[in-house]
Amino acid sequence: MQHDNSPALAEEPDSPAGGAPRRFSRRGMVAGVSLGAAATAAGFLVPRGFDQSTPARAVGNDAEDRVPGLPASLTKVVDSWAREPSSHPLIGDWRRVGYRRGAAEPRRPDHIVAASSVGIRPGGSEDVSGRLQKALSDLGAAGGGVLSLDAGRYVLDNPLFMHDSNVVLAGAGKNRTTLFFKRPLRDTIRDTTAWSWTGGQIFFLARERLAALRSPDQSQGRGEGWLSGPRLANVAPAVRGTQVLLVDDTSAVKPGQMVVLEVDDPADNQLLREIAGDVPGAASYDWAKRAPGLNRTTWTWPVVVTDVLSSRTVRIEQPLRISIRQSTPARLVTLGPTVHDSGVEGLTIENALLTQTKHNQNPGSNGVCFQAVYDCWAKDIHVLNADMAYGMTSAKSCTLTGISAGGRSLHHFTISRVASHDNLIQDFVLEDFTIPAVPGSYLHGLSVEALSSGNVWRRGTLHTGTFDSHRAMSFENLRTNITVTNKDAVPGGALNAGPYFGARMVHWGVTVTNNENLCMDITDQAPRALTVGMDGLTKPGSRLNGAGIDFEGDLQSERLEFGTRLQRQARDLLDVQRAVRPTATF
């Protein structure tokens, strides 16, 4: 499917800044009794004492005591989230975001090899990509380690592939070590316009995935997505928020195993309606006509099985993000070839300066890309003269910290696409460009699309760009504690990919420096969305109305403290959630 088009934009009719919040009609989740009946009808015998009738509940610490400076209106919202952290109708539970689901900080392996010890030194004009690649592969074959680069400039003709787990490429700091890439991915991997939105000069992916990308029958982004293996178990209907799943057989499931949950969209589009928050407009939406690229899809979500509780039940590490119905067949399948616990740190990726192309014709002067991998990271990285600076294509639980980009204008700063989940992007800066965009090219910004969920952007500054939700119904993503000069950018997405937004998209603690409201307050377009503490704008709204309202009727979204700059302790919703620390009981 075509990746990207730029919609016509229109001003939202004037509404009072900071006026009464949008009405939020809380609709209860489908009763667990009906889900239990559906499980029985589907042939799943519910074990005695096994109760799926309600999602996880929680007893929270009072938000007013835990978060100084939180306004009363937000105290009520946070307290309501703390009582139902994994099934709240407006707010996701992002505490498990990032590397190892937030349980640990990325850490280098103890085994370190200096690149200079194998004859790789900066300062020359010869290509060192082959020797660097061999050193990385040797570390992978030995079980992992760190390849340490001296300060200075290295010249590379080809990208570097991070094919192995527990391997780290580490420079001396992004202001000290530079990797200069002479050629874009079009000239090194294969000629495809897909490099406009995926692929990296430092590319985390399994060897099998690279082979698929190089295959002549892969074009326009096909060959993306998770590589999955055999079916492990069928999953019974279950409510959003539960961590215990009823399955038909656990004999093939192992505790500690990362698996893929696959959920199919049926003919009545129940899955897509669920992802849209089941607002009234999702039922009347013509999915087949308006979203042929999304209609009858399968949602894929990697998740760890922590416990095999019985021959028919398993516990998963994270609460279920959507409800599974009798009409939406679901299963656990093996996660195919992948890479985990690998990273890149402390360097600048500089692409040879090429004239920017028109939109979606980019040759792949890219930065870092994570594809079909989990628990990987990028830290203290700068990218110059990129088409796409940082990409997550079917990435899970990756952390990007201290990242930045600049130089020539680009297409995407960060993009999370094709079922990318639970990634954390923090402490980021998109600089003003030294060479502005050429006519016919489009800048986006912080992009998310294609049923990606659980991702967080926080503690960042955009000197240009916007909050781009790139159609295909990403959902339950958070942008918080960000300052943005909202300029020179438009939202995008394939015109056959349906709505911009799924449910529970939250913008919290955002400052806009130039009074441009494009894509900022999205409560006029997104279902069950929440905009909180957005300042620097004289009126709310997204200006996306010119592209057509996706869902007619009550969106059940809410806007609070519009025009108010939240105090520091209350500005970052991830910090707020971690401070309140609800205690879940199952």
CATH classification at residue 354: 2.160.20.10
Does residue 111 form part of some domain?
Answer: yes
Supply the pLDDT for residue 212: 82
Residues sharing a CB contact under 8 Å with residue 27, sequence separation 6 or more, in sequence order: 89, 278, 556
3 state DSSP class of 171: coil
Does residue 438 form part of some domain?
Answer: yes
Going 38 to 44 to 49 to 51, the CA torsion angle's sign is: negative
Write down how long the chain is.
586
Q: What does the pLDDT look like over 121-153, one tens digit per residue? A: 999 999 999 999 999 999 999 999 999 999 999
Neighbour tally for 69: CB within 10 Å: 11
* Separation between Cα atoms, residue 389 and residue 413, nearest integer Å: 5
Question: For 431-450, what is the mean pLDDT?
Answer: 95
Does residue 80 form part of some domain?
Answer: no
What the block records as the tokens of 139 is: 């570390």
Supply the pLDDT for residue 142: 97
Supply the pLDDT for residue 248: 97
The single-letter DSSP state of residue 77 is: H
3 state DSSP class of 21: coil
Beta bridge partners of residue 145, listed in sequence order: 167
Question: For 379-385, what is the mean pLDDT?
Answer: 98
- Mean pLDDT estimate for the chain: 89
Percentage of the chain lying above the pLDDT 70 cut? 87
Residue 421 pLDDT > 90, yes or no?
yes
* Separation between Cα atoms, residue 494 and residue 497, nearest integer Å: 5
What the block records as the tokens of 118 is: 């194998």
Residue 406 pLDDT > 90, yes or no?
yes
Residue 23 pLDDT > 60, yes or no?
no
Residues sharing a CB contact under 8 Å with residue 23, sequence separation 6 or more, in sequence order: 554, 558
Residue 165 pLDDT > 50, yes or no?
yes
Residue 61 pLDDT > 70, yes or no?
no
Q: What does the pLDDT look like over 266-295, one tens digit per residue? A: 999 999 999 999 999 999 999 999 999 898
Q: What does the pLDDT look like over 505-556, one tens digit per residue? A: 999 999 999 999 999 999 999 999 999 999 999 999 999 976 668 999 999 9
Residue 20 pLDDT > 70, yes or no?
no
Supply the pLDDT for residue 547: 60
Expressed as residue numbers, the domain containing 404 is 104-215+339-443
* Separation between Cα atoms, residue 329 and residue 349, nearest integer Å: 44
What the block records as the tokens of 531 is: 């905009």
* Residue burial 324-357, b: 16+ Cβ < 10 Å; e: rest: bbbbbbbbbbbbebbbbbbbbbbbbbbbeeeebb
Among 541, 547, 469, 481, CA closest to 505: 469
Higher pLDDT, 440 or 21: 440
Does residue 381 form part of some domain?
Answer: yes
Where does 384-539 have alpha helices with state H?
none
Element spanning 401, H or E: strand 399-406
Supply the pLDDT for residue 24: 36
Residue 415 pLDDT > 80, yes or no?
yes
Q: What does the pLDDT look like over 108-126, one tens digit per residue? A: 999 999 999 999 999 999 9
Residue 40 pLDDT > 90, yes or no?
no
3 state DSSP class of 71: coil
Among 396, 407, 14, CA closest to 227: 396
Supply the pLDDT for residue 39: 56
What the block records as the tokens of 299 is: 């949602």
What the block records as the tokens of 64 is: 């007013």
Is residue 41 classed exposed, middle or buried when 0-12, 13-18 and 19+ CB atoms within 10 A define those classes? exposed
Percentage of the chain lying above the pLDDT 90 cut? 81
Supply the pLDDT for residue 58: 54
Does residue 174 form part of some domain?
Answer: yes
Element spanning 478, H or E: strand 478-484
* Separation between Cα atoms, residue 3 and residue 449, nearest integer Å: 10
Q: CA 356, 360, 363, 364: dihedral to nearest 10 degrees?
A: 100
Q: CA 517, 521, 525, 529: dihedral to nearest 10 degrees?
A: 170
Does residue 202 form part of some domain?
Answer: yes
Lowest mean pLDDT among 70-84, 214-228, 391-405: 214-228
Looking only at the bridges linking them, the beta strands covering 330-335 and 228-235 are antiparallel
Does residue 182 form part of some domain?
Answer: yes
Domain count, the chain: 1
Supply the pLDDT for residue 45: 53
Does residue 322 form part of some domain?
Answer: no
* Separation between Cα atoms, residue 50 and residue 327, nearest integer Å: 22
3 state DSSP class of 257: strand
Element spanning 153, H or E: strand 152-156
Among 420, 529, 397, CA closest to 88: 529
Supply the pLDDT for residue 293: 86
